[in-house]
Amino acid sequence: MGLAIFDLDNTLLAGDSDYLWGQFLVEHGIVDAEHYERENLRYYREYQAGTLDIHSFLAFQLRPLAAHDMATLHGWRDQYLLEKIEPIMLPKAQALIEDHRRQGHTLLIITATNRFITGPIAERLGVANLLASEPAIHNGRYTGAVAGVPCFREGKVIRLESWLSENGLIRGESWFYSDSHNDIPLLEKVTHPVAVDPDAQLMEYAKKKGWPVMSLR
């Protein structure tokens, strides 16, 4: 089975959907602007530095979901997709996805960003399979907690292996496209690791390993 795996933020998108959701909440007065913007930026910098505590970040990011009903959240999300995501869609990313589709490969987006945010983006990209951090739901509302293993760093490897097993799939020839050094654990596991518009740490690592480097910008 040919398996084409794609990171989302700063790989298929020309920006970070996680960070942009925080900006959207601030700009529309949904959260306390000064506190939320400061924390959102702090977590983003920690992600870039490779020091992010994913459980702490998800507790911060999922808290606004728990404070509102689903109908309100979905209305905000529709607006967010138009304002923040449509402008950072990349035609070359869509072309890359379609190239793998034509080859008959199974397509999968794998992202640390939670499913509430990324589900509609994966649909917009035409990729049916999505592994993301899962916000817990109880009685039709988000709880503010994360369900299961966060889809981050080594967690991406764990979640991928579980997904393959659950679907009765065997990973044969495989590709993984990512921009981030945080994804090195999964890049090491595929037969075709590709650094896409990589951060400085991944660029250095990719050169050392002889991995291809490409741009979708």
Name the residues annotated as catalytic.
7, 9
User: Cα 20–24–25 angle (5° rounding)?
Assistant: 120
Q: How far apart are the first and last CA of the chain?
A: 29
**40-46 LR contacts (CB < 8 Å, sep 24+):** 44/16, 44/18, 44/19
Among residues 66, 55, 28, 40, the alpha carbon closest in space to that of 142 is found at: 66
Amino acid identity of residue 64, one-letter, is P
Tokens of 64: 């606004």
Among residues 151, 152, 84, 169, the alpha carbon closest in space to that of 121 is found at: 84
126: Cα separation from own chain's centroid = 15
202: Cα separation from own chain's centroid = 17
Q: 115 with 148: CB under 8 angstroms?
A: no
